[in-house]
A and B are shown apart, each in its own frame.
Chain A
Amino acid sequence: MAPDDQAPARRSTLSRRGLLRGGGAVAAAGLSVAALKLPFFSVAGAAQDPASCRATDLSERERRLVISNWTGYIDPRRNPRGTYNTFQDTTGITVEYNDDVNDNAEFYAKVRNQLGSCEPIDRDMIVLTDWMAARMIGLGWIQPLERERVPRLHENLIDSLRDKAWDPDRTYSAPWQSGLTGIAYNAAYVDEVGSFSELLTRSDLKGRITLLTEMRDTMGFMLKVVGAEPEDFTEDEWYDAIDALNRAVSDGQLRQFAGNNYLQQLANGDIVACEAWSGDVIQAQYDNPDIKFVVPEEGLSLWSDNMLVPNLATHQANAEAWIDYYYEPEVAARLAAWVNYICPVEGAREAMEQVDASLVDNPLIFPDEEFLADTWDFMPLDDRQSQQYEGDWSDATVG
């Protein structure tokens, strides 16, 4: 970042003032060791080749499967007739299901060292959002799926999730659930919040709103607010959007950036409106009918969380059996009836009539073409862009 010619001067100030006076024999020892040319210097790129970094598939011998998914993203596993147990009973595969994904960036940090140096992460399937899936596929950390072992995926995937730029033929990824990002508000405290710019300016919301910590969700809306298109924007437009966000932060309009605890705060009135994920809101409505989901004037952001098989997974065929199973319309309908996100499976709507007829016409579970016309996807970022923009984002959210 800093020009190289300045480096020596800074070095001397730091070593004299910072180290010796700052004292601490430990710090000094650590730094003097660092000054020697010892290993650890330079870290090679983390890209791998999935064709060479793969394990022998033990699926035939070991009928098991290890999955990492987001919390609350499957129908109850205790239910003997739920989708999870039915899968285990019909295939004889024991599924070790962990809900240990809380955040894309955090999960990435957790597996970066292993996957980046071609070491196993002891999971056969992970579920991550589009942009993170795209990054991992780009890094070569993800195994391609055998096309003939997941026929239902290619047959039944809904049209709006096909032809993604980062995985056009769904060679590497299979959407688990898809969802929309919009606005939620608590009708017990405030009137309807119809647009994102209203959310950021209305005085009765001051200090009582949250935005999501996912950069692409929030910045998509900020770009819309400043009149840019999240699907294709310039650097200037990006900085306009960041400035608008910084203003909302410094004005105190915004209370927090929330990961997944915003609904509790919305229910108890600490916040009265927020940026929210559709399925979360529908689930919260069962407990508190005052919580409403709005399609903002700016539109909705459409995303999906994707099943991926990481490098060195030892039960790929079992994972593919799982994918194929969840692309059966009846199974997908039973899952969607519980998690209330957009069902990525064609034909699930018809199957839903048997499961829960009240959800058949819910556009947040089975959106039609017209509804989806207002949705957008975030522009794919290259390596340098994503580093720059994620740095800006981090500064805006924690600076």
Chain B
Amino acid sequence: MTQAAQAVPETATLAAEPSGSRRRRGRTGYLLMLPATLWLLLFFVVPFYSLVATSLFDASGSDFRGYEMTYAWGNYVDVVEAYWQPFLRSLWYAALATGICLVLGYVLAYAIAFKAGRWKWLLLVLVIAPFFTSFLVRTLSWQLILSDEGFVVDALQFLRVLGPDDRLLATPVAVVAGLAYNFLPFMVLPLFASLDKIDPRLVEASSDLYAHPFVGFWKVTWPLSLPGVVSGTLLTFIPAAGDYINAEFLGSTNQRVIGNVIQGQFIDANNSPVAAALSVLLMVLIVAMVLVYVRRAGTEELL
């Protein structure tokens, strides 16, 4: 943010020199940025500041006695010691769900972009259609679908995939499946946007040069779809790592993720410093992972 704020005046002064109309354009830039900047200041910077401050309160305070600012950086060490397991579990579930979404989403987006013909737009609407229902309702209905006495479990037991006492609900499988289901559209849409832009004549050209279809895909389609892959995985992984509704509704007590812990600390244990430290840590961790990922993928210019 600070970088952006510094960068803008420079370009503005550069642009302002040649003529008067350019100066107006510079001012327009500021005006256009104003609403979003104010919005972010009010609803992101201020709350984030208060969150960081809360995370440094003496964790032994309470609502009766108040909280004292003691710069208790030890809060961060304490929460890592106490809650590293749900932390890792969140990242692991989110990674699995992202992987599943990538495979399912790529195939689907590919089919929509290249094979759907006149059904293209209808299929796209169908991908978005689940958003017309609330996230909570959709997750709760998975409880019914995966229920111990439901048809899915019955069918899998009949096929001997599941033992007679096995279940789906309240297992990691249900949680990851729920995450993958809920975030699939976030994967499909950017992938579709990338794939749809690819000129089919490029693939034709590769086969004219005697490339096997697989090679053609690997050398032409895949690299050109990378921007979609990167933004799709980010759009899936980031919310999935913070999501706790799926773990809450579809998991058991042994599948709780970091979001559950944060909620429990804020609301049940009434310990806001610990909850705040966990929240800050989660944000820092995700930002760090995203930066590393984008570097590694070598796709900064694609974003």
> A residues within 8 Å of B by Cβ?
1-4, 6-7, 10-11, 14, 18-19, 21-27, 29-31, 33-34, 38, 40-47, 103, 105-106, 108-109, 112, 116, 138-139, 207-208, 213, 215, 249-250, 252, 254-257, 268-270, 383-384, 387, 390-391, 393-395, 397-399
Contact = CB atoms under 8 A, between A and B. Distances in A.
A112 B52 CA distance: 20
A237 B170 CA distance: 30
Contact of B77 (A10, A45, A270): A10
A270 B147 contact: yes
Contacts of B143: 270
Interface string B53-77: 1001101111111111111111111
A322 to B, nearest CB: 28
Contacts of B45: 29-30, 33
Nearest to B67: A43
Contacts of B167: 207
A393 B72 contact: no
B104 interface: no
Contacts of B59: 1
Given A109-B266, A391-B271, A399-B261, A29 B1 contact: yes
B26 interface: no
Contact of B264 (A22, A249, A398): A398
B82 to A, nearest CB: 7
Nearest to A28: B2
B67 to A, nearest CB: 4
Interface in B254-292: 254, 256, 260-261, 263-271, 280, 283-285, 287-288, 291
What 9 pairs between A and B have smallest CB-CB spacing? A2-B74, A24-B287, A22-B288, A394-B269, A45-B66, A41-B69, A394-B264, A398-B264, A34-B52
A289 B134 CA distance: 33
B269 A22 contact: no
24 contacts: A1-B60, A1-B78, A7-B70, A10-B74, A10-B76, A18-B284, A19-B284, A22-B284, A24-B288, A27-B280, A42-B66, A43-B61, A46-B66, A105-B270, A208-B148, A254-B253, A255-B170, A256-B170, A256-B252, A384-B62, A390-B269, A394-B261, A399-B83, A399-B256
Given A1-B78, A256-B170, A31 B73 contact: no
A269 B148 contact: yes
Contact of A391 (B57, B71, B269): B269
B169 interface: yes
B174 to A, nearest CB: 12
Contact of A112 (B53, B63, B74): B63
B62 A387 contact: yes
Given A23-B288, A268-B149, 11 more contacts: A1-B60, A1-B72, A10-B74, A11-B73, A42-B68, A105-B267, A207-B167, A213-B268, A270-B149, A387-B60, A398-B86
Contact of B169 (A2, A43, A257, A270): A270
Interface of B: 1-3, 44-45, 48-50, 52-53, 56-57, 59-78, 82-83, 85-86, 143-144, 147-149, 167, 169-170, 252-254, 256, 260-261, 263-271, 280, 283-285, 287-288, 291
Contacts of B56: 34
B285 A22 contact: yes
A249 B232 CA distance: 36
B179 to A, nearest CB: 18
Contact of B254 (A23, A108, A250): A250
Contacts of A269: 147-149
Contacts of A44: 66
B253 to A, nearest CB: 5
A30 B66 contact: no
Nearest to A250: B254
- Give the residue among B1, B268, B270 with the most A Cβ atoms within 10 A: B268
B62 A393 contact: no
Contacts of B147: 268-270
B67 A14 contact: no
A128 B62 CA distance: 20
Contact of A105 (B69, B253, B268, B284): B268
A33 B1 contact: no
B76 A14 contact: yes
Given A270-B148, A393-B269, A7 B72 contact: yes
B267 A106 contact: yes
A27 B83 CA distance: 22
Contacts of A4: 70
B1 A23 contact: no
A235 B2 CA distance: 51
A25 B3 contact: yes
A108 B143 CA distance: 29
Contact of B52 (A31, A46, A395): A31
A7 B73 CA distance: 6
- Give the residue among A2, A34, A257 with the most B Cβ atoms within 10 A: A34
A46 B288 CA distance: 37
A14 B73 contact: yes
A19 B144 CA distance: 44
A112 B270 CA distance: 11
B288 A249 contact: no
A397 B170 contact: no
